[in-house]
Amino acid sequence: MGQKTPIAVFDLDGTLINGQSGSLISLYLLSRKVVSVPRATRLAWWGARYKLHLPQRQDEPREVIIAALHDRTPEEIRQTMRDFHDEVMVSRYRSEGVREVARRKEEGCVTLLASATFRDVAERAAEFLNMDGYVATEMERDASGDYTGNVEGDVTEGKAKLDAVIKWASDRFGTDGWYIRYAYGDHGSDVPLLSTARTAFAVNPSYLMKLAAKRRKWAILKWGTSA
């Protein structure tokens, strides 16, 4: 029986970066007069409910943002997302997180970004961090390739994030050819993913994540606000 491939899985928002990409992109688009003030307010309210662990529909902020970009082609939307990453997110990477990704890669782990953010943002983040792959939220397209405004499948969060990681790894290494060696997350929704790792790290954890980490004896990391 062959040796299994070790994978190090990193959450993005609140873990590798200081902030939430959904809120940041809404402000980015608002500053460029792409998103209206009412839409930006709606997104901010959703973000507040998310941080407070209040009920919210996970598809909502993605649908609002894509609706604001409805007059752009998929290629233009992709470039907007990549520009957002480079202009806003790069300065928010936590230096400890950037070093940790490199360290796990040097150890021989496959490094995987797992995020609820848009696919194009995650793709650019994985490129920037020199990671081996990513899983993220996909937006639905119609027969002509244009975005419908709906999420395709599930937002990559909670159990859906773990399912996406499992599918990504199994497609590349076989069902039994890999294991999660390390996992990093900050939010209570990351608990399913961290629970499957041989070593789990709660990074700047939210209240619920801190409780889970203490119960499960996971290491708690305090990473700086940005690089």
Half-sphere exposure of 183 (CA within 13 A, CB side): 23
The phi, psi pair for 58, rounded to 5°, reads -65, -25
Mean pLDDT, residues 210-225: 94
> What's the pLDDT score for residue 135?
97
In the chain, % of residues over pLDDT 90: 60
3-state secondary structure of 45: helix
Dump pLDDT digits (tens) for 182-204: 999 999 999 999 999 999 999 99
Q: pLDDT tens across 29-49, in order? A: 877 766 566 666 666 655 555
Residue 55 has pLDDT above 60, yes or no: no
**Would you tell me the crossing angle of helices 21-31 and 37-51 to the nearest 10 degrees?**
160
pLDDT at residue number 140? 76
Mean pLDDT of 146-154: 76
Is pLDDT of 56 > 60? no
Q: Which residue has the higher pLDDT, 199 or 152?
A: 199
- Strand 133-141 with 110-118, pairing: parallel
Q: Which pTM was predicted?
A: 0.86
> Which of 1-15, 46-60, 116-130, 135-149 has the lowest average pLDDT?
46-60
Q: Quick one: pLDDT at residue 97?
A: 97
Across the beta sheet with 199-203, the strand order is 147-152, 133-141, 110-118, 5-10, 178-185, 199-203, 219-221
Instruction: Please state the domain extents for the chain.
Output: 5-221
Q: 5-221: which CATH architecture?
A: 3-Layer(aba) Sandwich (3.40)
